Amino acid sequence: MNITEALKNVKFEYSLYFKYKFPDLRFDQSEPLKSEDEFLKSVNRKSMNSFYRWERTNEYKAILTLYLNSKVIKDYEQIYQIVSEQAKLGDEKSIKLFIALQKELQSQSKLAKEYFKHVEEDEVEDDDLELEV
C-alpha cells in the first residue's frame, strides 16, 4: 500500500489534514498553501484539537510511516545518482558505496517482484468471470 491508497482509507477530513500538514502530497501544487484558519473553514471545524488527537492514533502513525518511506525513496534516488556520478569519475570511496547500493537495490528488487507477484495473483483470483457453455 502506498500513501495515496492509505489516505483513501481514512476519514476525508483526516486525509485533508494530512495533506495540509504535508503539502507536497497535494495534487495541485500550483494552489497556494492554506493557513490554519482557511483549513479549518474547509473542513468545517472550529479547532485543530480533533486532528491533534488523531496524530496520537496508530492509524496516523501508520500513514506517517508510509509517507516517510516515500520520502526516503526519493532521497535514496538522489543519493544513488550522486554516488553513481562520483564512481564514474573514479572516486574509490564512491565506487565501494556504489557497489553496496547495487546490492541493496538487488535485494529491494526481489521484494518488489514478490509484491507484484502477489498483486497479480490477487487480480486473477478476483476477476469473478464465469464461462457460459
Q: How is the chain split into domains, by residue range?
A: 3-125
Amino acid 49: pLDDT: 95
Instruction: Report the pLDDT value the prediction gives residue 2, as an integer from 0 to 100.
Output: 80
DSSP string, 69-115: HHHHHHHHHHHHHHHHHHHHTT-HHHHHHHHHHHHHHHHHHHHHHHH
Confidence at residue 120, expressed as pLDDT on a 0 to 100 scale: 58
Give backbone dihedrals phi and psi of 89, rounded to 5 degrees, phi first: -85, -5
Looking at the chain, the number of H-run helices and the number of E-run strands are: 6, 0
Cell of 24: 507536497
| Tally of CB atoms within 10 A around 76 | 14
Q: What is the pLDDT of residue 124?
A: 54
C-alpha–C-alpha distance, residues 74 and 12, integer Å: 26
Low-confidence ranges of the chain (pLDDT < 50): none
